[in-house]
Amino acid sequence: MESEIRRLIGIAGPMPIADYMRLCLTHPQYGYYLTQDSIGAAGDFITAPEISQMFGELIGLWIAAVWQEMGAPENVRVVELGPGRGTMMIDALRAAKVAKDFYAAIVLHLVEISPKLRQLQQVRFESHDVPIFWHASLAEVPAGPLIVVANEFIDALPIHQAIKQADGWHERLIDIGPDGNLAFCTAADALPHFDATLPRDLRQSPEGSIYEWRADTVAFEIARCVRSDGAALIIDYGHARAGLGETLQAVAGHTFADPLLAPGEADLTAHVDFAALALSADIIGARSHGPVSQRDFLTRLGIDKRAAALKASAPERTAEIDSALYRLTGSGPEQMGELFKVLAIADPKFGPLPGFATKRR
């Protein structure tokens, strides 16, 4: 991957961070998601569904409740973006099975770029009796009532970065440094009228500030699919309000790595700007709900009760269940409860969605 990146820089000059990230993660031959076993205890990072079955089960109940809100259509496309090992959907289907009419209505569509993970998903879903289709992108999913879920998918989509200098914002790029290693550099020309595209309170940012953004394409695509008879649930780590600062990070073997070292061998992600996602969805004519913290979302869906029920049926697992509950809902940078946010994007005709209702005082 590194020699391919050097070759491209040699031909075209310094490369935007977004191009670098896209190549590192999804290059058909050398990309991280196509070559590495990334997810789970033995991989590079662990995700909420891999921590506890409670996560996927509650997502399953959310999907069933939204299907009811949609008027219980006879056929519903349940779409997952980036299913990874498939754990969340397997737990969701098990929980949804109690709602027989809903279960019978499901046609599953999995959007997965990695042939390796697709294969693993095929094996893991073999024993399931719902129709399943795989796709390379959301655009391939046929039209009709649909519910989309995505956990830790958006954080892997490419970001751009700009740095504020005396004459305006300049895009940050990746070049070959004087020592021969890949290094960050700054485009010579300022991005034209960039300040005008920023949220108002970031327009007077001091020199040296860094601003990150993602292309609106995916948010627009999701919103376009769900704005009539659909809903999407997006769960990821990130911020509820736009802010400054760089969050690009590389993770390999459960520890942080240098994003420019060993490209293609580490997972590259960056915080999700939920305010930007919500704005894109609203522009397209869908309605955004939230973002709310993962803790509030899971609490409102009843994770405490679910944990209590699991402990009652398997007392020997009490410590494990309590620790998973804390990991999913706890505060602070080590836990997921506040770091992770949940946003729904839906047809504006739907009322409040489960998990997003404001708390009673």
Question: Which spans of this chain sit near ligand SAH (rule: CB under 6 A)?
Answer: 25-26, 33, 39, 47, 49-50, 82-84, 88, 111-114, 117, 151-153, 156
For residue 336, give the amino acid letter: M
Nearer to ligand SAH, 190 or 218 (CB): 218
In single-letter form, the type of residue at position 179 comes to D
What is the separation of C-alpha 307 from the centre of its chain, rounded to a whole number of angstroms?
A: 25
Query: Could you tell me which of 153, 173, 175, 162 has the C-alpha nearest to residue 269?
Result: 153
Identity of the residue, 155 or 246, whose beta carbon is nearer to ligand SAH in the bound complex: 155
User: Which residues, in sequence order, are CB contacts of 167 under 8 Å at separation 6+?
Assistant: 190
Smallest gap from residue 200 Cβ to ligand SAH (A): 31
Cα distance from N-terminal residue to C-terminal residue, the chain: 54
What are the backbone angles phi and psi of residue 82, rounded to the nearest 5°? 65, 65
CA–CA separation, 67 vs 79, rounded Å?
13
Nearest residue to the partner ligand SAH, using Cβ: 82
Closest approach of ligand SAH to the CB of residue 129, in Å:
22
**Residue placing its CB nearer to ligand SAH in the complex, 20 or 33:** 33
Nearer to ligand SAH, 83 or 291 (CB): 83
Nearer CB in complex with ligand SAH: 223/233: 233
Give min distance, CB of 50 to ligand SAH, in A: 6
Q: In the bound complex, what is the minimum distance in angstroms from residue 197's beta carbon to ligand SAH?
A: 24
CB of 242 to ligand SAH, least distance (A): 23
Compute how many other C-beta atoms are within 10 angstroms of the C-beta atom of residue 233: 26
**Which CB atom, from 47 or from 161, has the smaller least distance to ligand SAH?**
47
* C-alpha distances in Å from residue 197, one per residue of 105, 288, 361: 43, 21, 37
Least Cβ distance, residue 154 to ligand SAH (angstroms):
9
State the CB neighbour count (10 A cutoff) for residue 189: 10
